[in-house]
Amino acid sequence: MSEEAEEVKRLLSFKKRIEKRIEKLELELKELHSILESVNSVLLAKGFKRAELVKKPEAPPSMEEAVQIVSVPTLKPETAPTSEFKEVIPLKRSSGELLANLYVGDNFLRVVLAEDKNFNVNTPPFNQFLVERVLAKMQQKDGELVKAGKLKPEQIFTYNILRDGDLIREIHIKNFDAERLRELKSSIKWTLEKMYEKMVKS
């Protein structure tokens, strides 16, 4: 047998081992999702707010999708030029205290957090709710539409979180409709209110 044939044989054997390993990990992941769902059900039954928990898990994204889920460069905030946006929506607490400003443009949303508040990326429920259950879910849904040929790749929902160390400064969002804008507005406001409550108590 030639060296080339031997190499092909080794590669095929290696490929089979990888496929078996992937299959084993996928089964393990499904079991963990099932366990997590059961834990969440118990917590909900004990009175925890649904939005603060991870809801029923969906199929995990592919490796390509996972890489696209969030990009977090470390940048300092800049003043958003209002001329580029058709609407500015202030997000305030019931007391009138400003949490953030939403600059709405043509299929582009720039969320600029209040400079006098240090919203930390690790403060719940930012990652657990806003990122995982709102932003990533919208992106994953669009990714499925692209695969089905119902949406062009350049039309997929994308978001980018700008930070200064662990402090969130801005969130940039592209490709959304009026319905998603309403959901984003309410979800971002709710998240920042809960984060601020934890910040004040700590």
Token pair 């790749």 in the structure block, residue: 153
Residues 6+ away with beta carbon under 8 Å from 189:
91, 99
Tell which phi-psi region holds residue 156, choosing left (phi > 0), alpha (psi between -120 and 50) or beta.
beta
Residues 20-51 pLDDT 10s: 888 888 888 877 776 776 666 666 555 544 44
pLDDT confidence of residue 11: 87
Query: What six digits make up the tokens of 66?
Result: 């996972």
CA 112/CA 63 separation, integer angstroms: 30
> pTM for the full model?
0.60
Over residues 133-156, mean pLDDT:
93
User: 133-137, long-range: CB within 8 Å, 24+ apart, which pairs?
Assistant: 133/51, 133/54, 133/55, 134/183, 134/184, 134/187, 135/70, 135/159, 135/173, 136/69, 136/70, 137/58
DSSP letter, residue 171: E
CA 128/CA 58 separation, integer angstroms: 15
Q: Which of 144, 185, 157, 184 is nearest to 69 (CA)?
A: 157
Compare 116 and 82 and report the one with higher pLDDT: 116
CA 119/CA 77 separation, integer angstroms: 13
pLDDT confidence of residue 144: 92
**Number of DSSP helices (H) and strands (E) in the chain, helices first:** 4, 5
Over residues 144-158, mean pLDDT:
92
Q: Which of 67, 80, 73 is nearest to 109 (CA)?
A: 80
Q: Which of 161, 149, 165 is nearest to 191 (CA)?
A: 161
pLDDT confidence of residue 57: 46
